[in-house]
């Protein structure tokens, strides 16, 4: 699926779609984190190496090993992976935790989109389920948090027990959830209290032990902490009356309030609010805001080391009583934020943690995991747990640090939290404001997410060139949300505007008590750029190159084709390309020219060290935007851009002919050559008709008999039929799929 910034008619199943959003992108579990089974993971490593790892528990050295994954349907063997211990105190436990790195020895390699796996032993938790339940709630609340599932871990054929495989938080994680990974990502561990240490950014590089408390995980070469220092300065030093506008200009406050609510409902004390520990901060370059990402959630649901009854602790005084926690305490001092936090807390309780199906699922989990606990040789070693401990742990305390079972903790926490919650009106909450970067005379599409504890109206307020403010209604889009009964995605479209016009806009919401909120405090500003006057085009691209064309190093990397449709040679040395339209200077073209009617292939591989035409960014198959920008003297004018979703491996997207408005799929891609070559088989418009679509019946039908296959977004074939006009798709998870016939027909299938 492709999205183009302009009025276009697209062949095939392609439609004009909403622009990329700063809203977290929530991926499906996929095969790696699927919960239909308990997959088996085998690690094959030299016994002497394994012995060394166990004797040197503080080492983070990656050792070569073989990784085998088997979930009953998929059996993959991957050589030359990195293997080591992970964690902090768990390194000294009998049941240790492990990190698997697919890219340690083969740069850039991924397995189902991830570069690393965290295999957590959960030795503190007799249920081996608390962390997974936390991530499940985060996911249901539409927040960015790790995917997970339970797995069996074998090393050299010996069963090491039942583990939780938890998605690693790194540049691939933020790319998956936020659509970009060029911002600073900080891993924040104890004592990360976010207190002000001074204006010098280097003051926040202080160490605890042998690591930085705020450890920069991306952009390490620049090592620039200016953004973090600015955020902490605003958080700590802005007067109360100015804090909302100032803080919301640098931090996603709304999502953090919801994460804080989940932390408190689940008793997650080893977090920022109480433990000044276990979170990440990511500077999201799509929105310009820091995102708070929770991490390491095993100390939850009644696990306690401090003698505190977390199920009864006051929801507004959760923080440590004698240490500063400005991010939580300052927000609770702002009445509008305190009311919105209360709204999110009630929402999560009423729509997730108190629902009977959620509570009943605790015992489904117990039944599914019991066989793998029974034979776990490391399960009893740290705290003497037995299979009886496991059976009882969902409903009863287990002594020592496990003060209550999961179910009684949840019931008590839900009840006391609702009793402690203040009553009153929460002002409308507005976030994820985004537009589509239109050219002159192209429709302006503006999106936002808004919600309230009652009825509300949502309007777009805008003006051009400093004129009078105008308003138009925003309509709720038909987008499914993880919280039942909620949508909250609003959109409005304005007619095209001449080039050079300054457009300013903000979102205004009024609730049923006549409380009005307008966001952002300072309206968004955008100068409408002219149409492509240079004749320089993004002509074709591939975001899933496995075998189509290799670069000079023999690597099958993603690529972007540039086409000069003008009648003269164009110098590219003052132009830029990016995968984030809000960051136009992400990659500068080298000092080269492109002749009239010529093509230039750029490798989007994130490996600029490999050559002048290797960009600093990669493409994402699921969702991405590509922009071509002029020089700084022009004001960084946007020359050309395209946004897309749901790409297919070894199928490119290109203009129907070179430089044309319409785009189409190329099952035979044309990198470096014309898109209108004779004899190339191309997908024809609407050859394949399928119904019902969207589909919630479990049965797919075609209007004509054909041999066809269905592919998931990763390009993996999930179903194949020979000469048929129907298929049973009841086993497919909700999501977007591609249906292809052997004669080139293509359709997009949405499974609900």
- Closest C-alpha among 648, 654, 693, 649 to residue 674: 654
Stretch 144-171: mean pLDDT, rounded? 97
Nearest to 254 by CA among 635, 520, 609, 651: 520
Q: Identify the pLDDT of residue 586.
A: 92
pLDDT at position 7 is 26
Answer whether residue 62 shows pLDDT above 90.
yes
Query: Mean pLDDT across the stretch 718-729?
Result: 85
Residue 712: per-residue pLDDT:
64
- Decide which of 336 and 527 is more confident: 336
Asked which of 101-115, 206-220, 504-518 is least confident by mean pLDDT, the reply is 101-115
Distance (Å, whole) CA 173 – CA 146: 8
Looking at the chain, the whole-number percentage of residues with pLDDT higher than 90 is 68
Report, as an integer, the average pLDDT of 358-372.
97
Q: pLDDT tens across 560-580, in order?
A: 999 998 888 999 999 999 998
* 381-433 per-position pLDDT tens digit: 999 999 999 999 999 998 889 999 999 999 999 999 999 999 999 999 999 99
Give the pLDDT confidence score for residue 479 in this predicted structure. 46
Residue 8 pLDDT class (50, 70, 90 cuts): very low
Domains of the chain: 34-420 (no CATH), 429-527 (2.60.40.10), 532-666 (2.60.40.1260), 690-751 (2.60.40.10)
Q: What is the bridge-based pairing of β-strands 570-571 and 593-594?
A: antiparallel
pLDDT > 70: percent of the chain:
93
- At 478, the pLDDT band (50, 70, 90 cuts) reads low
| Torsion angles phi and psi, residue 215, rounded to 5 | -95, 115
Region 178-205: mean pLDDT is: 95
Q: What is residue 590's predicted lDDT score, i.e. its pLDDT?
A: 94
HSE-CB of 575 using CA atoms within 13 angstroms: 20
pLDDT (tens digit per residue) in 671-690: 988 885 433 333 333 457 88
- Pair 91, 85: CB distance under 8 Å: yes
CA pair distance 182, 620, nearest whole angstrom: 13
Least trusted range by pLDDT, from 82-96, 311-325, 642-656 = 642-656
Helices H, strands E: what count in the chain? 12, 38
User: How confident is the model at residue 281, as a pLDDT?
Assistant: 98
Q: Residue 402's beta-bridge partner residues? A: 303, 399
Query: For position 749, what pLDDT does the model report?
Result: 78
How confident is the model over 582-603, as a mean pLDDT? Answer: 92
The radius of gyration of the chain's CA atoms, rounded to the nearest angstrom, is 27
DSSP structure class, residue 479? -
pLDDT (0 to 100) of residue 285: 84
Distance (Å, rounded) from C-alpha 240 to C-alpha 336? Answer: 11
Distance of CA 591 to CAs 130, 265, 571, Å?
A: 55, 57, 8
Distance of CA 431 to the CA centre of its chain: 16
Alpha carbon distances (Å) from 289 to 218, 248, 252, 303, 464: 16, 8, 6, 33, 26
State the pLDDT at residue 661: 74
Q: Cα separation of 95 and 120, whole Å?
A: 9
What pLDDT is attached to residue 698?
A: 85
Query: What would the mean pLDDT of 689-708 be, rounded to a whole number?
Result: 83
pLDDT tens for 229-280 read: 999 999 999 999 999 999 999 999 999 999 999 999 999 999 999 999 999 9
Q: Please, what is the average pLDDT of the chain? A: 89
pLDDT at residue 716, as a whole number: 62
**Residue 485 above 60 pLDDT?**
no
Nearest Cα residue to 727 out of 686, 692, 687: 692
Residue 61: partners with Cβ closer than 8 Å, 6 or more residues away: 84
In the predicted structure, residue 13 carries a pLDDT above the cut 80: no
Across residues 354-370, what is the average pLDDT? 97
The backbone torsions φ and ψ at residue 414, rounded to the nearest 5 degrees and listed phi first, read -55, -45
pLDDT band at 735 (very low <50, low <70, confident <90, very high): low
Q: Can you give the pLDDT at residue 282?
A: 97
Q: What confidence score (pLDDT) does residue 22 get?
A: 57
């Amino acid at each position: 699926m492709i999205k183009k910034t302009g009025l276009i008619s697209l062949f095939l199943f392609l439609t004009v779609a909403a622009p990329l959003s700063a809203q977290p992108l929530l991926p499906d579990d996929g095969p790696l984190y699927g919960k239909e089974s308990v997959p088996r993971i085998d690690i094959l490593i030299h016994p002497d190496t394994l012995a060394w790892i166990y004797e040197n528990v503080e080492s983070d050295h990656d050792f070569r090993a073989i990784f085998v994954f088997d979930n009953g349907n998929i059996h993959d063997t991957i050589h030359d992976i990195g293997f080591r211990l992970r964690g902090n105190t768990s390194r000294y436990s009998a049941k240790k935790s492990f990190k698997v790195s697919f890219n340690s020895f083969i740069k850039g390699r991924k397995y189902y989109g991830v570069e690393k796996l965290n295999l957590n032993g959960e030795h503190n938790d007799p249920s081996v389920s608390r962390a997974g339940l936390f991530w499940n709630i985060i996911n249901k609340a539409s927040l960015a948090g790790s995917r997970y599932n339970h797995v069996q871990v074998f090393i050299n054929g010996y069963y090491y027990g039942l583990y939780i495989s938890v998605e690693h938080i790194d540049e691939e994680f933020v790319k998956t959830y936020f659509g970009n990974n060029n911002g600073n990502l900080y891993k924040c561990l104890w004592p990360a209290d976010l207190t002000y240490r001074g204006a010098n950014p280097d003051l926040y590089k202080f160490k605890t032990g042998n690591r930085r408390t705020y450890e920069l995980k991306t952009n390490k070469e620049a090592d620039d902490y200016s953004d973090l220092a600015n955020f902490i300065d605003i958080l700590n030093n802005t007067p109360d009356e100015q804090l909302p506008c100032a803080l919301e200009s640098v931090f996603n406050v709304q999502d953090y309030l919801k994460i804080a609510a989940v932390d408190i409902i689940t008793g997650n004390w080893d977090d920022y609010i109480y433990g000044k520990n276990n979170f990440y901060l990511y500077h999201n370059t799509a929105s310009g805001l820091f995102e708070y990402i929770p991490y390491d959630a095993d100390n939850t649901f009644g696990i306690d080391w401090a003698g505190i009854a977390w199920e009864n602790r006051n929801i507004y005084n959760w923080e440590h009583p004698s240490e500063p926690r400005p991010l939580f305490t300052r927000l609770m001092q702002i009445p509008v934020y305190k009311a919105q936090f209360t709204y999110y807390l009630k929402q999560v309780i009423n729509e997730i943690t108190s629902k009977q199906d959620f509570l009943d699922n605790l015992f489904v989990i117990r039944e599914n995991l019991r066989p793998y606990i029974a034979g776990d040789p490391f399960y009893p070693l740290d705290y003497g747990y037995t299979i009886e401990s496991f059976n009882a742990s969902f409903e009863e305390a287990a002594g020592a640090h496990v003060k209550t079972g999961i179910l009684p903790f949840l019931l008590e926490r839900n009840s006391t939290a609702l009793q402690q919650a203040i009553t009153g009106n929460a002002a409308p909450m507005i976030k994820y404001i985004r537009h589509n970067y239109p050219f002159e005379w192209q429709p302006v599409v503006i999106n936002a997410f808004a919600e309230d504890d009652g009825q509300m109206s949502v309007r777009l307020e805008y003006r051009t060139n400093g004129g009078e403010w105008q308003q138009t209604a925003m309509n709720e889009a038909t987008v499914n949300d993880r919280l039942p009964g909620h949508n909250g995605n609003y959109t409005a479209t304005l007619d095209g505007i001449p080039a050079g016009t300054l457009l300013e806009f903000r979102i205004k919401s009024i609730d049923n008590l006549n409380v009005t909120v307008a966001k952002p405090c300072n309206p968004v500003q955008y100068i409408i750029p002219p149409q492509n006057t240079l004749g320089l085009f993004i002509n074709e691209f591939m975001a899933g190159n496995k075998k189509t064309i290799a670069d000079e190093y023999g690597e099958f990397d993603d690529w972007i084709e540039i086409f000069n449709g003008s009648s003269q040679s164009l110098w590219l040395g003052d132009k830029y390309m990016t995968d984030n339209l809000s960051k136009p200077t992400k990659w500068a073209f080298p000092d080269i020219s492109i002749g009239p009617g010529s093509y230039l292939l750029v490798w989007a591989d994130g490996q600029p060290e490999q050559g002048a035409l290797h960009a600093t960014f990669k493409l994402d198959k699921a969702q991405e935007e590509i922009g071509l920008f002029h020089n700084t003297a022009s004001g960084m004018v946007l020359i050309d851009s395209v946004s897309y979703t749901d790409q297919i491996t070894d199928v490119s997207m290109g203009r129907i002919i070179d430089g044309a408005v319409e785009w189409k799929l190329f099952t035979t891609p044309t990198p470096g050559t014309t898109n209108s070559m004779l004899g190339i088989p191309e997908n024809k418009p609407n050859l394949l008709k399928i119904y019902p679509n969207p589909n919630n019946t479990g049965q797919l039908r075609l209007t004509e008999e054909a041999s066809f296959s269905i592919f998931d977004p990763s390009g993996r074939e999930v179903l194949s039929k020979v000469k048929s006009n129907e298929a049973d798709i009841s086993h497919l998870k909700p999501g977007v799929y591609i249906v292809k016939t052997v004669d080139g027909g293509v359709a997009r299938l949405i499974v609900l």
